[in-house]
Amino acid sequence: MTKTALITGVTGQDGAYLAEFLLKKGYVVHGIKRRASLFNTDRVDHLYQDPHVSNRNFVLHYGDLTDSTNLIRIIQQVQPDEIYNLAAMSHVAVSFETPEYTANADGIGTLRLLEAIRILGLEKKTRFYQASTSELYGLVQETPQKETTPFYPRSPYAVAKLYGYWITVNYREAYGMYACNGILFNHESPIRGETFVTRKITRAVARMALGLQECLYLGNLSALRDWGHARDYVEMQWLMLQQEKPDDFVIATGVQYSVRQFVEFAAAELGIELRWEGEGQNEAGIVAAVLDKDVRVKVGDTIVRVDPRYFRPTEVETLLGDPGKAKEKLGWSPKTSLQELVREMVQADYSAAKRDALVKMAGFQAYDYHE
């Protein structure tokens, strides 16, 4: 029997990888995209099928997590076997600027989907995946973090996701729904949004190497993250919905690096030797210097500068996941090392930067990107 999946956030990083993965498994995939004033389907354009063709297995619907009537209508029409709730205002720093919207989309949006399943009487048919996050651990209470580690969210984004986490657990327990939380640690790829730190770095390093950008401005260089590859992690999202009983799982690599190390790895990938300038040569020194706005990092002839505008009102300093339960119960372990991830991202951004450099040489001004 062909299965039908509905993906919210299909135009995002994970949505694109998951749609591709499910189509390869023979699913009919429906996705919800937002109306925007410009095309916003770049990441799934290669999966696009002309609406005039019959028997399409990839279908996009306009929708929004803040609109219950829209969600109910789409779910009624699609009758999905599986819903993957990946849509969210997913940028932690931006959530401090838009806290109410973030709560609405990321928190109440999850409730709207669960209620839609219930209103339509699909509790026994439709399985539900909630994109929960390591940001729930925030001010960490235990290292490494696992499924039983207490939460301490540190941003409007994380607080909204905390609601999403618990309402998913509650609907599972109250109504016997097959609903799961994947507590995913940071995962990246060449199609990661350009304002998340890894992509910002790989894109900048590539552009700096070709003389297209002079300076990379970053915030907290000492933050420690457990970074995996999005392609590996979407497989796990699917696996969670194929079990006999619903459960919650941490998905992580179990290895941690600092933002500063990520810069070094990315620069090394293009053969650029890093020279650190400023007061501190060690992590503690760097933090002190950062607060003095005085750290400069040379990448060849170009500079990485710390800009306090990228500091967050409350920061998550360290995250390190324990994927033991996923390994034991689902037989899952990540396939891609950080070094492989960095290589893939830098090479993809370097190819794109070479195209921009060519355009610039031909007389067009490529834009300088700092965000």
Q: What end-to-end distance do the CA atoms of the chain give, in Å?
A: 46
C-alpha distances in Å from residue 273, one per residue of 24, 47, 257, 279, 344: 41, 39, 19, 19, 19
Residue 200 touches which member of ligand GDR, ligand NDP, none, C-beta under 5-8 Å by kind: ligand GDR
SS3 content of the chain, % helix, strand, coil (to 5): 40, 15, 40
Residues numbered 43 to 72 that lie near ligand NDP (CB under 6 A) are 64-66
Binding mask 78-107 for ligand GDR (x = CB under 6 A): ------------x-xx--------------
Total residues interacting with ligand GDR, rule: CB under 6 A: 22
Both tokens assigned to 160: 């909204």
Binding mask 3-42 for ligand NDP (x = CB under 6 A): -----xx-xxxxx----------------x-x-x---x--
Query: Among 219, 254, 285, 300, which residue sits at the site for ligand GDR (rule: CB under 6 A)?
Result: 219
Q: Classify 46 as helix, strand or coil.
A: helix
Binding mask 259-278 for ligand NDP (x = CB under 6 A): --------------------
Residues numbered 131 to 150 that lie near ligand NDP (CB under 6 A) are 131, 133
C-alpha distances in Å from residue 260, one per residue of 31, 257, 284, 315, 362: 36, 8, 12, 16, 35
For ligand GDR, the closer CB: 78 or 223: 223
The verdict on 134 binding ligand GDR (CB under 6 A) reads yes
The verdict on 184 binding ligand NDP (CB under 6 A) reads yes
Prior bond of 144 cis (ω within 30°)? yes
For ligand NDP, the closer CB: 8 or 302: 8
Kindly state the smallest distance separating residue 201's Cβ from ligand GDR, in Å. 8
Query: Among 186, 213, 237, 302, which residue sits at the site for ligand GDR (rule: CB under 6 A)?
Result: 186
Contact criterion met (CB below 8 Å) for 48 and 58: yes
DSSP annotation string for 119-188: HTT-TTT-EEEEEEEGGGT-S-SSSSB-TTSPP---SHHHHHHHHHHHHHHHHHHHH---EEEEEEPPEE
The verdict on 133 binding ligand GDR (CB under 6 A) reads yes
The verdict on 183 binding ligand GDR (CB under 6 A) reads no
Q: Quick check: is 66 catalytic?
A: no
Kindly state the smallest distance separating residue 61's Cβ from ligand NDP, in Å. 11
Q: Quick check: is 133 catalytic?
A: yes
The verdict on 98 binding ligand NDP (CB under 6 A) reads no
* The one catalytic residue among 8, 82, 129, 135: 135
**Apex 185 CA angle, 46 and 206, nearest 5:** 55
Contacts of 165 (CB under 8 A, 6+ apart): 130, 132, 136, 151, 181, 183
* The one catalytic residue among 157, 178, 233, 350: 157
For ligand NDP, the closer CB: 212 or 326: 326
H-type alpha helices, 6-80? 13-24, 68-78
The verdict on 307 binding ligand NDP (CB under 6 A) reads no
DSSP annotation string for 315-371: ---B--B-THHHHHHH-------HHHHHHHHHHHHHHHHHHHHHHHHTTPPPPP---
Q: Quick check: is 157 catalytic?
A: yes
Chain position carrying tokens 């973030």 = 102
The site for ligand GDR (CB under 6 A) is made up of 90, 92-93, 133-135, 185-186, 195-197, 200, 218-220, 223, 225, 259, 310, 312, 315-316
The site for ligand NDP (CB under 6 A) is made up of 8-9, 11-15, 32, 34, 36, 40, 64-66, 86-90, 105, 131, 133, 184, 186-187, 193
Catalytic residues: 133, 135, 157
